[in-house]
Chain A
Amino acid sequence: MKRLLKIYLDKPELAGIVLLIILIAVFQVTSRGFLLSYDNLRGVLGLLPEMGMVAMGVTILMIAGEFDISVGSVFALAPMVMAITNNMGVPFVPAVLLGLLAAAGIGATNGMITLRFGIPSFITTLGMLFIARSITVVISGGFPPLLSADIPGWIFTQYIGLIRMSMFWFAGLAVILAITLSLMNLGNWIKATGGQIDAANAMGIPTSRVKMFCFVLCSMLAGFAGIVQVLRLGSPLPSLGEGLELQAVAAAVIGGTSLFGGIGTVVGAIVGALLIRVIDNGLVLSRVDANWFKFAIGSLLILAVIGNTWLRRQSRRIKLET
């Protein structure tokens, strides 16, 4: 029993899962059974991959001990680059790759500035939030370009029964990232880099390169998620993804990621993203004024951090036979 409690306490994403189940039950009742209906699930699950991919990237970067709040702007920049180059005659796949390359470039710049000048990544990426947004608006020329009709957007947006194609991309990436984090030596290095950077350096881990990798990965996931959303919406609005960075950080933290680095899981990021989606959807279905959404996310975020801190302290107290 004690061991069971300990496992529970050591895995903060489990608390998120429990909360998710409770909220689903509550909203299922308050929405008079509509929440888990086929049509509504289709809608919620269709949107999850976009936010979920951003949350995964932010989570992994946070585990490595750094922040990225420029993801919302990268979310808009990558599809803008894709749409503009595509309209200039670049075929679809290379255009997508160019969009991802732009995202990678932003991530690499974030990493280089943060590591080279030793400044907090919060500041670097806050600056980048403005810079990348500005570039997006400027290159759009003020008018969102139209996507050409022959783009095979279906590879992300097509529904197959309950789920969209984007869910497969999301699930595939989630599995790869989860394996990387928990089963590969690179995952060990990421956790060590964020957990105790002096020890990681002393043990010969290339911590700067590890962080650089995480910065680029985080940006590319945000860019990819943006491209998926734009193909769903049909047009790259320059204002896309505004406020997304904070939701992504909230999802990571609600899913048990530590703000001090070293702790977090891919599953936690997904649970956090799903919680935010369910609250968003559940409030609307329950006919609560939609403006309460941010209030709910804010409260949940604070409660999640208090809860995780408390759980971790309790867990440390429970010592099994030493």
Chain B
Amino acid sequence: MAEGAAPIIAAKGLHKWYSGVHALKNVDFYVTKGEIVGLVGDNGAGKTTLIKVLSGVHRPDQGQVFIEGTPVDIATPKQAMDLGIETIYQTNSMVPTMSIARNLFVGREPLTASFFGIGLMDHAKMRDDSVKAIADVDLHLRSPDALVGELSGGQRQGVAIARAMYFKSKVLILDEPTNHLSVKETSKVIGFVKGLRAQGLTGIFISHNMHHVFQSCDRVVAMARGEVVLNKPIGDTSIDEVHGYL
């Protein structure tokens, strides 16, 4: 762990069993500030399980997660978001039947007046801020009122990334964001990830595609059969070496 500072997010000795399958075997993982970590591995290697533990979808059977050095117990996705961990899933991160502005703020709507958390939404703020947030990731859309269902897959991921950045997440987890996307759309998403690094954001980028990881990440962590088998800065390794471990 570089610079002696506590990593933004760390996991120590994680174990997870799914009805007899040992999905995580004593996994240690960390991300330091300003770093984009590529998490690679074959299907069933434990990548998704690890991410689900970090984003509050599952709880580990053993082991501990730390945020900036403090032990935390993340029970729900909402708690993870409150702790600054934002996850963008392959497909279902947006509601296609709702506008961009509504999607950006869904679950965290700014309110002008409220009673027990239920109240009137500040529509003007939602529209203005979503235009700015989207422009910040270099995505240019005609109107915050357009339905997300009308956007391309790449644009949707762009909006999801804009959302995470708007809410100043400490760690942005991208769970195979380029799955089901065309080549052109994929390169757009890779562009967003590179943009994150340029802005000094911290993130975890899960991918099957080694080239994408080597293009956009600082460090690569490889998993196989529920264990971390490699953890090296991109500069100290090669695609062939990583492949050898999988």
Residues of A near any B CB (own CB < 8 A): 10, 179, 183-186, 188-189, 191-192, 194-196, 198-205, 258, 262-263, 316, 319-322
Contacts and interface: CB of A to CB of B under 8 A. Distances in A.
Contacts of A185: 109, 111, 114, 117-119, 121
B136 interface: no
Contacts of A198: 89, 92
Interface residues of B, number: 33
B92 A199 contact: yes
A319 B150 contact: yes
B87 A202 contact: yes
B94 A316 contact: no
Main secondary structure of the interface of A (DSSP, over half): helix
Interface in B70-100: 76-78, 81, 87, 89, 92-98
Contact of A202 (B93, B97, B119, B142): B93
Interface in B116-171: 117-121, 123, 141-143, 147, 149-150
A179 B76 CA distance: 30
Given A184-B119, A185-B121, A320-B143, 4 more contacts: A10-B147, A203-B106, A204-B107, A262-B95
Interface of B: 76-78, 81, 87, 89, 92-98, 102, 105-109, 111, 114, 117-121, 123, 141-143, 147, 149-150
Nearest to B110: A185
A192 B141 contact: no
Given A188-B109, A195-B97, A320-B142, A204 B123 contact: no
A189 B108 CA distance: 10
A256 to B, nearest CB: 12
A321 B120 contact: no
Contacts of B111: 185
Contacts of A179: 120
Given A191-B98, A322-B142, A316 B106 contact: no
Contact of B149 (A186, A201, A205, A316): A316
B102 A188 contact: yes
A56 to B, nearest CB: 19
